[in-house]
Amino acid sequence: MTESLVSGTLNFRDVGGLPAGDGRTRSGVLYRSGNLAHVDEAGAASLRRLGLRRIIDLRDDDEVRWAPSRVDGLDLVTQRVPLFLGSVMSFFEDDANLPGMYSSLIDGSADKVVEVVRGILHDQPVLVHCTVGKDRTGVTVALTLAAAGVDTEAVVADYARTEALLPEARNRAVVARLRALHPESLHLEDLATRSPAPVMREVLERLDAVFGSPADYLRAHGLVDDELEELRRILVVRS
């Protein structure tokens, strides 16, 4: 399945309906996707119907310059929160693996992750996106959902779902282009196309071991209890 909720986008979806203890995540509140550089007229109409009030763009300056979002005319706020200190391409150059990339994000961009969560608290419906919606979006949305009380396996499954939503033709073209630049890379295909459930499970287990929980990770980096409670209220409806 490779369809997207919004025409011209990649991996666009609602995170509503996920089990969270005795409740479920609300639909129509938090969306996630890849970039918005190819949104067409039908896609813009879909975004308008969703009533988005805020878009949180996790891409770096070069990515935004190469692929600017096509959201002109939409009445919303765009919040830029570049998650990595350097370029995303540096992970391909360094032949990093997915766990290494995610550790870099968690360890080096904790203040930015908190900034994203606060953006979600500020306006809804809200869209969080990066270029593909797999890694930066995947980790940030996973931490947000986990902190709101979503069941761990549901958080992992939502992250892993991305792999099935990336079109094969897109994957072949991206891998070929990157392989030409990095012919000896061992982890290139993982970085470009994959979202394995065990990797996200390991991220969450690490946060449990080091901080106590994903919520405690956010708390340790500045989010306060009232904000965590509001996050749960916004995202989860009790049965």
pLDDT at 30: 98
pLDDT at 95: 84
Domain residues of the chain, as ranges? 13-231
- Give residue-wise pLDDT tens across range 88-123: 777 888 888 999 999 999 999 999 999 999 999 999
Indicate the pTM of the whole model: 0.95
Question: pLDDT band for position 1 (50/70/90)?
Answer: very low
Does domain 13-231 fall under CATH 1.10.287.610? My reply is: no
Structure tokens at 152: 């761990």
Phi first, then psi, for residue 53 (nearest 5°) are -110, -20
Local confidence band at 86 (pLDDT 50, 70, 90 cut-offs)? low
Kindly report, residue by residue over 201-233, the tens digit of the pLDDT: 999 999 999 999 999 999 999 999 999 999 999
Average pLDDT taken over every residue of the chain = 94
